[in-house]
Amino acid sequence: MDYKGVKVITHASTFFAPILVPIVVWLLVQNRDAKNMALQALFFHIIMTVLIAISWFFTFLLIGIPFLIVFGLMAIYYPIKGIIYSLNGRPFSYPFVGWIGR
């Protein structure tokens, strides 16, 4: 069975349920690659949420604004890149958490 659709939904979940979908995929899917991708996506979403929250907190000092922009763009760019890679059947690893599941 091809789990390309599951991987695409896992990557796309950043726009509608970034924590819930990877947990559900990780718990329910038996394919090792899909489980690893769900775990990477989960940790990536958690780390990006924390980094964006810290950046948001420091915006009152103006130092957080560049970090907020960079982390916000990363949180959008890498899931889209993962969707494209999954649609093409290529392996993809998120930055910071690519070592998880290897």
* CA 40 – CA 102 distance, rounded (Å): 10
Report pLDDT for 99.
64
Calculate what percentage of the chain has a pLDDT beyond 90. Answer: 17
- In this prediction the pTM is 0.81
> Are 9 and 50 spatial neighbours (Cβ–Cβ below 8 Å)?
no
Asked if pLDDT for residue 102 goes beyond 60, the answer is: no
